[in-house]
Structure 1
Amino acid sequence: MLVSAAALPGALELVGPSPFGVIGPGAAADRAVPPHAALQADQRIPAAAPTVDIRRTGDPANRITLVLLGDGYTAGEQELFRQQADKAWHALMDIEPFRTYQGFFNIRRVEVVSPVSGIAESESRGRKTATPLGMHFWCEGTARLLCADEAATARYAGGGAGPQYLIALANSTEYGGAGGTGVTTLAGGSPDAGRIIQHEIGHTVGDLGDEYDSAPEDADYPNLATLNADDMRRKQTKWWRWLGAESPDGAGVVGAYRSANGLYRPTPDSVMRTLGSAYNLPSREAIIEELYRRVRPTDAPVPAPGEVSGRPRLDVRPLPLTGPRQLKVEWKVNGVPVTPQSPDGSWLDTAPLELAPGRTATVTATVKDTTDWVRDEAFRERHMTRSVSWTLTG
């Protein structure tokens, strides 16, 4: 397992051990994650800071909250932090599949005031700086690896009604970051900050591995394999469903491309290999699947499923996507398909239904994400589909 940090703009380079686990408070990690060999934050600084909801797309219980925190920003530098935080999350929502699925995320900013400006940068080589989150380069002996005190970061982030991803920005113009742990990090002032977060969040959200040549020989990730295409297809493993598919970003046909470390990757290039590229199709699928492990395709229907009186409007409340891809909704009355009055199919007016006195009718709505970015149909049926029913009485 590895902690990834980009070492050179454009081409990524392996930097040290890291666990590609999951998120922060509100969700369990997929793997046992040993704590960072990170410097502890200054415990004399109280773990409280102003919190601002800068984007709310829906019920936090059924959204993933991105919590952006800053370290090394003084009171007079909070506007700088706000600007850099905005650039970071906008860069993340500018790459697929996050662009399409941005409605699955709420975004919160925590304005942590530091008594000193800046963090322990690479020239400090382990020297502690009295900042609230204890962020520093030279984490685990690697210059570009940027770590934070994860316990302190979690305290400042606080709890929430749903899962959270914690993203810590350092007040630094150096090049570096880390992903795959409880806290995703980046240097907020780096010219490459937007491209860095696109790469590092792939580790954290999609459990993706680095595809560059110097990455360790560890294929325990959805986008890395020890098998060639023929063996993958024969054993129906890894990204076998995608073999031969044309990558929508022009990166070529999905196959098994061997890196210098001996592992195979799905495409010649991707954001997990080169900053500024796109996620390949198997990686997009892995990210979408991780989102659906935490978010249901609908918010709570209105009225609540079950017996209802009168002829109410039934609203299944599917989560909206951005762009032409939308969740598909199918309505049935006593098993017979009906056409809803709503343009997007999200609600059905039951007033026109003919129902004899004393008789009942069962109305069922099935919401499904039919995106062609997912080819695992068993996963689609289990996590990306939801049916709810109401019983109307005449």
Structure 2
Amino acid sequence: MKHQLLYILCLLNIGFVNAQVFDVETIKRSGDNNKRINLVLLSEGYQTSEFSKFITDATSFSNAMFTQSPFKEYADYFNVFAIKVPSNQSGTDHPANATDVTEPVFPAATLDTYFNTSFDTSGYHRLLYTYNSAKVYNVLANNFPEYDQPIILVNSPEYGGAGGPYAVSSTGTSANEIVIHELGHSLFNLKDEYYPGDGNLNEATNATQESNPALVKWKNWMGIDAINIYPYGSSGESATWNRPHQSCKMRYLGFDFCSVCQEGIIEKIHSLVSPIDSYLPASNTVNPTAYPIDFELNLIKPIPNTLKNTWTLNASNFANDVDNISIAENDLNTGTNDLTVVVHDDSPMLKIDNHETTHVYSVTWTITKSALGIDDISSKQNDFNISLFPNPSNNILNLKVEGKSAASLKVDIISLDGKRLQSTKISNYENNKIDISRLSQGMYLANVYLNNMLLTSKRFVKN
């Protein structure tokens, strides 16, 4: 999750860009940096005397972000920090050479700022950006190498910003909305839902050239929350691209993210951060003669909590949707016992029945019992990405499971009345092809198991 490789590269490049250490201020801290998404704001065009304004601007953005869905529900998954990078002059460059407006929109200027940001990038007036990436990443490497997403706040009242490896925004009109929109690009891989021009779109969570309602990537949302297939334009290349909504934040500032974009954001959050913050026991710290033995999960819970969990002991269900359990002596067999808890997010903002990828998280404790008591308890945490595609399918289902430890995997195909129709062993990190050609048309369940423990149940349609 963290950018340690980039940190090493920046250190190797230290002769090219001098290392400088600046003050870092915490704006929002929800937990350990290694277990949260770290948003890091960099000041640009702020003189040292203006750092209090920078912190005010950074705090305003953070407060605004976490009042909007889905960030308000997943606020505890984020930390926010601000690095006070001084510039010699206030503001940013304005060459006044944009070709999409009549210049000068405001007075031309060339200013001495740290990252050398500028309006009029690539001929677009409001495109506020810098290509001086070496300085950006050097500052991050030397001041906050655990960053997940850098954001450059530019001390200018003029409207402008950009997405990219680092998001950039001015601090004037609609500044907070600009930053949140640009984060949609930079961190969550969302596309603009206004037409950005020929050649500037590609397939993404919220953009597609597919027009078949049964195949479109947001098919699970069709007809809900005004989600449909809306062309970007009426002619030319714009007419070949489709968006899911008519008034999403990725099209208009001041609006909410549409349901498709919200789901995409949550999916990215789950790909970056496990909801399992910690667990106990983490090692063999249990008194070997003391029963019952307590096991505990510390979860990063959405607001309201939508996490579900299932506890199994030796592949038999033991408890559901609790954070703590106790194991009595007569619950265990002599020898090796496996206790596993599987956690997933059941948020109504996720419609995973027809969604390609499911994120599942688990902890497994191996408990060794002898006549003298508990000889050993070892633990292992694992995260799984489980993909099933295409859906619907005619003859072949592709199933891919990605997990750090997944030695014994299988998938059972189940009818909706609960009958197991076929069972197939599958391999970790491989594209497993499941032949469903003999099934009748209709809806089925694909139950994925690890060591006879159910990881997930996904619906699919056989055409």
* TM-score greater than 0.5 by the shorter chain: yes
Q: Are the equivalent residues in 1 in contact too, given 2:205–2:264 (CA < 8 A)?
A: yes
What is the SS of the residue equivalent to 1:299?
strand
TM-score by length of 2: 0.66
Cα distance, 1:94 vs structure 2? 2.0
2:78 corresponds in structure 1 to 105
The whole-number CA distance in structure 2 between the counterparts of 1:334 and 1:45 is: 57
Name the CA shift for 1:27/1:241 in 2 (closer, same or farther; >3 Å). Answer: farther
Partner of 2:437: none
In structure 2, relative to structure 1, the CA distance for the partners of 1:353 and 1:91 (3 Å cut) is: farther
Q: Considering only aligned residues, what root-mean-square deviation do their CA atoms show, in Å?
A: 3.0
Secondary structure at the residue paired with 1:61?
Answer: helix
Contact kept? 2:44, 2:85, Cα under 8 Å: yes
Identical positions, percent = 25
Deviation (angstroms), 1:336:
3.8
**206, 221, 232: which is aligned to 2:204?**
221
Question: What pairs up with 1:84-123 in 2 under 5 angstroms?
Answer: 84-121=57-94, 123=96
Q: Tell me: higher relative CO, structure 1 or 2? Use CA pairs within 8 A at least 6 residues apart.
A: 1
Q: How does 1:220-369 map to 2 (within 5 A)?
A: 220-228=203-211, 231-233=212-214, 236-245=215-224, 247=225, 253-260=226-233, 261-262=238-239, 263-304=241-282, 309=288, 310=290, 311-321=292-302, 323-339=303-319, 345-350=322-327, 352=328, 354=330, 358=334, 361-369=337-345
Structure 2: gaps spanning 5 or more residues: 7-15, 99-107, 374-463
**What is the Cα deviation at residue 382 of structure 1?**
4.8
Q: Tell me, what secondary structure is at the counterpart of 1:112?
A: coil
- Normalization by structure 1: what TM-score? 0.77
Residue-pair matches, total: 341
Q: What is the letter of the counterpart of residue 365 of structure 1?
A: V
CA distance in 2, matches of 1:381, 1:334: 27
SS at match of 2:276: coil
| Greater shift in the superposed pair: 384-393 or 134-143 | 384-393
Give the conservation status (yes or no) of the 8 Å contact 1:328–1:369: yes
Match status 1:60 vs 2:38? no
- Equivalent AA in structure 1 for residue 136 of structure 2: T
Preserved CA contact (<8 Å) 2:17 2:135:
no
SS at match of 2:310: strand
Structural mapping, 1:9-24, within 5 Å: none
Question: More deviation in 210-219 or 57-66?
Answer: 210-219
Compute the displacement of 1:240 (Å).
1.8
1:374 corresponding residue in structure 2: 350
Residues 294 and 325, structure 2, Cα contact 8 Å, conserved in 1: yes
**Structure 1 residues 364 and 133: alpha-carbon distance in aligned structure 2, compared to 1, 3 A threshold:** same
**Distance between the aligned counterparts of 2:38 and 2:250, measured in 1?**
23
Supply the AA of the counterpart residue of 1:315.
E
Whole-angstrom CA distance in 1 between matches of 2:145 and 2:281: 22
Letter in 1 for 2:295: L
Matches within 5 A, 1:26-37: 26=4
Deviations 1:12-41 (A, max 9, x none): xxxxxxxxxxx993589xxxxxxxxxxxxx
- The CA deviation string for residues 96-120 of structure 1, in whole angstroms up to 9 with x for no partner, is 1111112111111101122212221
Secondary structure of 2:54's partner? Answer: helix
More strand by share: 2
Task: Check conservation: 1:300, 1:317, Cα contact below 8 A.
Answer: yes
